[in-house]
Amino acid sequence: MGYVEGFVASVPQGSKEAYRKHASEAAVLFKEFGAIRIVECWGDDVPDGKVTDFRRAVQAKDGEIVVFSWIEFPSKTVRDSAWKKLMEDPRMQAIGEAMPFDGKRMIYGGFEKLLEV
C-alpha cells in the first residue's frame, strides 16, 4: 500500500514563493531517491481549535501560514533509504540551509497507509 511522510510547518506569509521554490528543489531530490508523489499545501482554512490545532502544533506566529505536506513512497524501506541518501547529499544540505521557515517548529513523521480510496 505504500508509505507516507507527513509534514506541518509554519511559514511567514510573505515567503510563499520562497517556500514553493524550496519545496520544488527538495522534490527533485526526493523523486530521485524514490518518492512517487509529493504534495505541498499552503494553508487556506486552518481554524483555531479549542484544545489543539495545526497552528499550535507548530507554534505559528502572527503573520505565518501553516503548510501541510506529504511525500508518498512505495514502501518504508524506500523511504528509509531515501532519507539516508538525502542526509548525505550536498545538494540537500544546501537546500536545508536556505529553508524559508523555522525548521525547529516543523513536525513530521512516517505513516503506514491504512486506507486508500
With a CB cutoff of 8 Å and minimum separation 6, the contacts of 19 are 11, 40, 42, 67, 100, 101
Check residue 2 and report its DSSP letter: -
- Tens digit of pLDDT at every position of the chain (117 positions): 799 999 999 999 999 999 999 999 999 999 999 999 999 999 999 999 999 999 999 999 999 999 999 999 999 999 999 999 999 999 998 888 889 999 999 999 999 999 989
Q: Is 56 exposed, middle or buried (0-12, 13-18, 19+ CB in 10 A)?
A: exposed
Distance CA 110, CA 78 (A): 12
Would you state the pLDDT for residue 37? 98
Would you state the pLDDT for residue 39? 98
Would you state the pLDDT for residue 68? 98
- How many residues in total does the chain contain? 117
With a CB cutoff of 8 Å and minimum separation 6, the contacts of 81 are 33, 34
Kindly report the pTM of this predicted structure. Answer: 0.92
Would you state the pLDDT for residue 94? 87
Would you state the pLDDT for residue 43? 98
Distance CA 1, CA 77 (A): 13
